[in-house]
Structure formats: structure tokens, C-alpha cells
Amino acid sequence: MPADSMSPELYNCRFLKAARREPVDTTPVWIMRQAGRYLPEYMAVRSKVSFIELCKRPDLAAEVTLTARERLGVDAAILFADLLPILQPMGLDLEYAKGEGPVIHNPLRTPSHLPRFHEVEDVGCLGYVFDAVKLIRRQLPANIPLLGFAGAPFTLASYAIEGGGSKNYALTKTWMYTDPGAWRSLMETLARSLIRYLRAQIDHGCQAVQLFDSWAGCLGPDDYREFVLPYTKMVLDGLPPDVPVINFLTGNPALLPLLRAAGGQVIGLDWRVNLKEAWASIGHDVAVQGNLDPVTLYADLATIRRRTKAVLDAAEGRPGHIFNLGHGVFPDLKPENVIALVEMVHEMGQRR
């Protein structure tokens, strides 16, 4: 949702002010995967439907999104959806297999398979996502923003080629190295589709979006610069400039300067870096998000408090810090610990 169409209460909310690097009363916080299996309320809904049905039922996606935001007391809601359903209208047979996660039954194993991969020119085929956005926005408190999201081109390309998870991304990298022309075509197809998809999320009621490059950490800097950065930048350049974008990559701190070069008003940091050092390295003229190790939430409250304070201290009270975990919350964590974390951030992050 562009700034000129927001209410003053929403425009001046804690999260969006931090994303613009403006002073706030206390550090805003939200949690990646905040609507998930660790919450009994989520499991009550999930027990009745499959994961993909939950994603494709706007009423249920809205319910778990809103319940998680309210239960945790966080400063932003994030749309309940998944990275991969956009690949279905592009020609891939996606299944969420029980106990195995997402599986693509007709992956793009070689560049010769590229002709059956289709650009999403009409995002109406993903209308269930936008219907959920509208339902959530109508029911959220007036000062709570809604975040949309999508997978970045490299992460989606890797799923499309590997057919699922991978330890070494050998098929993906082989395609990259041996047929750069086909790789460029694949990545541009994804980037153009993602621009339309994210813009539609914004148009239907999201105030910010996050781009997840969950798998790009497998690359070295030279490969990221050549094979990934241009297409991530293409997506980010294609979004409205007054809508904050969180550019998040996990697994390789050496890529942070290149992540910054790709764009985004907020750079997401995983737990493998010191927040103070990382922020200084990419420049204080950009906001940052992160970066508590999610494993911390298995510990006792005193340990959680100490480690949360360390992250806040690393930010030094500088405008532009959004607190989050360095990755998603784990499904077997105690909800009480997550709630306590949010309360700690709000208490210790207060500006004096």
C-alpha cells in the first residue's frame, strides 16, 4: 500500500517509521514464521486442512495471520502464505508431501526444459493470496502494518531445478555455469513474475514486503554478483519506491555488501553476523532487521533476556532497527518464550 493511500496512524506506526529510519518510541519487533506450528491456535486450524489448503483458503490464512499477531503482540502481521505456489501457474507440479516438505514432480532438470516454464503475466491465478490480504487488512488494528512476501528469484529457481531441498545445489549451479543464457532467461522470467505478484500484494493492502533468498547462501560472492544480483535488483527496482522492502538472505555473511547493492530499504540479517559490525559494513543509510539466533528461545528467560539485550545493544539505539530472529521460529518452541521475547524487546528497546 503506497504511502499516499495510508491513514496517518498506519503511516506513522512503529514498524514503518523504523523502516524509514525515523526515531520510534521503542524497537519494533515481528517474528519470521510467527504464524506456525508452535502456536496451539495455528494447530487447531491446521489439523482440519492440508498445508496447501490453508494457504489457498483466504478465510483460514487470514485467521492464522491475525491470531498470531494478536497473541504475540508484535508490531506487524505477515501474510500467511508460502514461497512456492507461484511456481504452479508457471507450469510446475508442486506437492506438499507429508513428512517431506515441498516436492516438484516435473522439475526443470536441464535448460532443455525451459520452454515449459511460463511467465505469470496475469496474477489473477493467485487471487486467493490477494483475497487473504484484503481480509487481513480489514481486521488488523489501524496502527499495525501487514507484510507481504515472496521468494527471491534464485531461491525459486533452485526449487524449480532441484525439485525440492538440496545439500549442494549441484543441478542449479551446473545450469548456471554451463548455460548462462538459459539461466538469464529463467531468472528474468521469475523476476518479471515476482514484480507483478508483489505489486499486487501491495495494491491489495500490504504496507511492506520481504524478499526471502533462503538458499542463496550456498553461493560465493563472485557467483552471487554474476548470477543472482542483477535479478534480485530487477525485482526490487520494479516495486513502488515508497513501499519498504526487506531484502533477506541467510547463510553467508560474505554476501551482505552485495545484498545491499541489490537494494531494499531494510536489509535482513541472520544470526551468523554481529549486528553492529554488519550494519557498519553495509552503511547506516539503510535500515536493518534481526538478528537473534532462534535457538535462543529454547533457553531460560534470563538467557533469552541477556541475548536479546545484546542484539539491542549492538543496534546502539540508532533509528532503523527492526528486531527479529535471524530466521524463522521453530515449530516445537514454547509460545510463552516467544511472547516473552516480544515483551523484552518492547521494554528494553525503549528510547530514553
Query: Residue 153 phi/psi, 5° resolution?
Result: -55, -45
Annotated catalytic, 82? yes
Q: Which of 226, 323, 333, 318 is nearest to 269 (CA)?
A: 323
37 noted as active-site residue? yes
CB contact at 8 A, 78 and 35 = yes
Q: Is 21 left (phi over 0), alpha (psi -120 to 50) or beta?
A: left
Active-site entry in 11, 57, 82, 203: 82
Assess contact for 247 and 263: CB atoms under 8 A: yes
Active-site residue, selected from the candidate residues 42, 159, 169, 231: 159
Q: What type of residue is 217?
A: G
300 burial (CB, 10 Å; 0-12 / 13-18 / 19+) is exposed
The active-site residue, picked from 33, 57, 196, 318, is 33
Catalytic residue, chosen from 37, 57, 109, 184, is: 37
Paired residues of 246 in beta bridges:
210, 266
Antiparallel, parallel or unpaired: β 287-289 and 266-268: parallel
Q: Does 159 participate in catalysis according to the annotation?
A: yes
- Of 21, 46, 69, 199, catalytic: 46
Q: How far apart are CA 199 and CA 187, in angstroms?
A: 18
CA 41 to each of CA 38, 45, 50, 267, 317: distance values in angstroms, whole numbers, following the listed order: 9, 7, 15, 31, 34
25 carries an active-site annotation: no
φ/ψ of 262, rounded to 5, equals -70, -30
Measured CA to CA, the distance from residue 199 to residue 195 in angstroms comes to 6
Report which secondary-structure segment, H or E, holds 245.
strand 245-249
Known catalytic membership, residue 71: no
Active site residues: 33, 37, 46, 82, 159
